[in-house]
Amino acid sequence: MKKVLLCSLCLLVCALGINIPAVAQPSQKLVNVVVSPDRPDWKYKVGDEAVFTVQVLEAANPVKGITVDYEVGPEFFPTVKKEGVVLKDGKMTLKAKMTEPGFARCRVVAKKDGYTYEGLATVAFSEDQIRPTSPEPADFDAFWTDALAQARKTPLDPIVTLLPERCTPTQNVYQVSFQNERPGSRIYGILMMPKKEGKYPAVLWVPGAGVRGRQGFNLGDSIITLQIGIHGVPVDMPDGVYRDLGSAALSGYWRYSMNDRDEHYYKRVYTGCVRAVDFLCSLPEFDGKTIGVTGGSQGGALSIVTTALDPRIRFMALNHPALCDFAGYLNHRAGGWPHYFREKQPKPGEVEALSYYDVVNFAKRVKVPGWFTWGYNDVVCPPTSMYAAYNVIPAPKELHLYLDSGHWIYPEQAKASNKWLKEHCAEYGFILRFPKEWESVTGVIYEPWHLRYVGVQIAQYMHENNLCLEEFT
């Protein structure tokens, strides 16, 4: 099983490296509010006391006499709130306890010269014991089996259009579309296909929330990739078209028909992800067995959903999954994006209908390896909600924490992913085509995403002898 996990995740750890630049970490500010837990791993047991040291710094020195507001307690349910607290030396300590598994957040806001600065830290209390609060429908499996069967009565009818301006010397790039759950309802995406004749593994990239075009994502000239949109519109239009759609027809699409399991917007999205797998598997260049899925935020959720619904998926890699444990807010704890019940109580039928779309119920059905990464300071996808899904996944899984990250990813996360990939990919016949340490030999700058399949024996020989492809040939 370890070998299967490593082999499967090699491809998708690399895929995460491709997604990372789109979610940049915040820029630095003149004044920094630093909140530091007293344990370096930010982990406690229920009943422990967490101590936060708060410092307000300018030019790396404490701001004496600064005024702050703060709140401490479970995510989105603070139990202590104070305003106008003066920090004589620019520093103070705060404390928190939890009586049940979850996350406590210390959030501090400082004001100086008309500007507002914020810092926070979120710590875990027995996080491995967090369980879902959302109900699981008795006919969950039957509902989705029928939904997919009904969708597949509609032929794919694929349309494939070459985009010459996006092609590379070794890859053809296409805009593709295929029918989804009914005639005329289409999924659009960007397909990247190796030009060299052969059979190749495939990776499906599923999108985060919003309405955007797609450029395709490049995992090198030995892997087929398909990057999809979910809204049934072409993915190569001008950016202004997507802004208009996101502000009008598709504004708040995640709330469409929340009380109707058969008409909820995400039904066509979930079936569309599986139809994308159908499309990939129909390609004559596909190797017939190796296919994975990757994404972040909404795309992280769709990665789990697709893996649970489609047994052809062999592996997944994702960051900060959304759509987890909607009912958390009804149980006085944080639920996942899009925070359906954070500010209002559910209308009749909404909890029941949304339970068919809650990622926690798909997570229970995952049977293949997964690679995950997120941070504790995520206020879009709270860690309580993500752990509610992660903890019920029965398959092999790896979680890579970057504790103070929010709903973004550090460049170091990409580098760590690529380092892991480089150490293990040779075991399965892959090499990094243009490694950093051989830029002077290859004549190409470091491309951490660019894999080349050369076969297990050659890959291991190159790894053992510290060679790039130019030196081997």
Catalytic residues: 297, 378, 407
| DSSP string of 324-360, one letter each residue | --GGGGGGTS---TT-TTSSSPPPTTHHHHHTTT-HH
Q: What pairing do the DSSP bridges indicate for beta strands 159-162 and 186-194?
A: unpaired
Q: How far apart are CA 403 and CA 385, in angstroms?
A: 16
Q: Residue 467 is encoded by which pair of tokens?
A: 């060679």
Paired tokens of 364: 């229970």
Cα Rg of the chain (Å, integer): 24
Residue pair 359/321 in contact by the 8 Å Cβ criterion: yes
Q: Which residue has the tokens 């879009």?
A: 380
Q: Report phi then psi at 106, rounded to 5.
A: -110, 115
Q: Which of 416, 410, 407, 387 is nearest to 208 (CA)?
A: 407
Supply the DSSP string of 267-300, one letter for each residue.
HHHHHHHHHHHHHHHH-TTEEEEEEEEEEETHHH
The rounded distance, in Å, linking the Cα atoms of 271 and 285 is: 23
**15 within 8 A of 203, measured Cβ to Cβ:** yes
Q: In angstroms, what CA-CA distances link 295 with 15, 200, 233, 400?
A: 8, 20, 20, 15
For residues 415 and 373, what is the distance between their CA atoms, to the nearest angstrom? Answer: 13
SS3 213: coil
The Cα–Cα gap between 380 and 361 comes to 20
DSSP 48-77: -EEEEEEEEEETTEE-TTEEEEEEEEETT-
Q: Which residues contact residue 314 at a Cβ distance below 8 angstroms, ignoring those fewer than 6 apart?
A: 8, 289, 290, 291, 292, 368
Strands 171-179, 159-162: pairing kind: antiparallel
Token duo for residue 257: 């028909």
CA-closest candidate to residue 2, choices 424, 287, 319: 424
State how beta strands 80-87 and 66-74 pair: antiparallel
Name the burial class of residue 381, with classes exposed (0-12), middle (13-18) and buried (19+) by CB atoms within 10 angstroms of its CB: buried
